[in-house]
Amino acid sequence: MIEPIILFFVLGIIAGLVRAELRLPGPIYDFVSMLLLLAIGLKGGIELAKQPFLTLLPQILVVFVMGLILPLIGFPILRKFGRFKRADAASIAAHYGSVSVGTYAVAAAFMETQNIYFEEHMPLLLVVLEVPAILVGIVLAKGLSKETQWSSVAHEVFAGKGVVLLLGGLFIGWIAGSDGLDSIKPLFFDLFKGILALFLLEMGLIAASKISSLHKYGLFLIVFGIGMALLSAVIGTGLGLLLNLSIGGTAMLAILAASASYIAVPAAMRISVPEANPTLSLTASLGITFPFNVLIGIPVYYELAVRAHAIFGA
Amino acid sequence: MTTQDSQQGHLQGQLKGELKDQPQKYNSMLVTIVTESSLESQLSRELEGLGVQGYTITDARGRGDSGSRNAGWDADSNIRIEVICSEPMSETIAKLLEEKYYPNFAMVMHCHGVFVLRPEKFK
């Protein structure tokens, strides 16, 4: 059975491609994305309350290193085979080293529908993955330049809506615990899929606008957008095994690795590497990788995790 | 006096006549900047650093060289910044934007004279 939320995404894409007069009003989109980020954070926070923070430290470190490595793999590919300018290659690579909360939300819904267990503290790793790729991207574009306004970049990264709401949600969930959140559960947890459906409708419209600008940038971006996602998923699966995550957790880490940012990184790159063309990176991350992951990637990465556990698992 | 001069003189007279009933000619400048919303906090800081007394920011939608920017989503939306200031300040703002932002950002700036009450508020 096809997840109805995926059909909302498809509806958005079709509506966008036929230029239907459809648009989620700006404040509604803001509201919907805020609810999603908070809900994801709260769920992670409840789980964090159940275990000592120190046991998660190895996972946090490994995921941080993964965030550093992924853009370093993408950058030379973009430079050599894509022949992109240094700034453009660095910016696109940073998008692919970071994560997409939207993809995570769809994956969480997929896992819930299929009754697959995964470590619920994944939102913490989601936050950890937002940051390192941005730093690597800036250094790849400019070197360790004194001109870089690190304070502006830090503000953009840590005070950005995504990180504040995710970390805020984690913190509130951690303090309040599962019972404490009972009173707000109907809004954040019971309505999660409905909210996600609206969010995906808008994402479909945005993705369609990027797809329609694809013809300008050629075949390479399509191949890179899918190829990089698959390669990153394999790396994420390997690290999931290394960290002894469950099958669902391994799949989630693969999905986080395979996803490409479209909120935190574009904002940080506009400020720190303004000479990079944002249309290129957003076309790749939103026009190619996001739809690929949502429509095809998530079940494929789960299957990869199942097979990897069967072959290499303890 | 040539015919052209006489026509120009007539036109100026006509304009003056029309302006006679207006309060005054402009006493401040209105600088309008339409640009990417990702620049909002940075530009606010820059303007405050230059010493402008205030500004108004609104969300904007439209289409231009950088494609359609429909304001639904942060990375794809525009803002319009309006600053009322003195003429020298408008020139300083224009110079800053031209040097620092025009090469890499979607940005349009235009300014014109406006008549404001309490012009001392807008230096």
Is the pLDDT assigned to residue A227 strictly greater than 60?
Answer: yes
* pLDDT value, residue A70: 96
CATH architecture assignment, domain A4-312? Up-down Bundle (1.20)
How many angstroms away from the CA of B82 is the closest CA of chain A?
A: 21
Q: Measured between beta carbons, which residues in chain A are less than 8 angstroms from residue B35?
A: none
Output the six-digit token pair for A83: 């022949």
* pLDDT value, residue B1: 46
Ranges of each domain in chain A: 4-312
Q: Which residue of A has its CA nearest to B38?
A: A267
Give the C-alpha separation, A292 to A282, whole Å: 14
Q: How far is CA A221 from the centre of its chain?
A: 18
Is the pLDDT assigned to residue B56 strictly greater than 50?
Answer: yes
pTM higher than 0.90: no
* pLDDT value, residue B15: 44
Q: Measured between beta carbons, which residues in chain B are less than 8 angstroms from residue A209?
A: 68, 76
Output the six-digit token pair for A263: 């909120």
Higher pLDDT, A80 or A210: A80
Q: Tokens 């939207």 correspond to what residue?
A: A102
How many angstroms away from the CA of B68 is the closest CA of chain A?
A: 9
- ipTM at complex level: 0.72
* pLDDT value, residue A6: 92
Mutate to test the interface with B, among A270, A272, A280, A286 (most CBs of B within 10 A): A270
Domains of chain B: 26-121 (3.30.70.120)
Q: Measured between beta carbons, which residues in chain A are less than 8 angstroms from residue B41?
A: 155
Count of H helices and E strands in chain B?
3, 6
Is the pLDDT assigned to residue B10 strictly greater than 80?
Answer: no
Q: Measured between beta carbons, which residues in chain B are less than 8 angstroms from residue A266?
A: 38, 74-75
Q: Which of residues 4-33 of B touch A (CB under 8 A)?
A: none
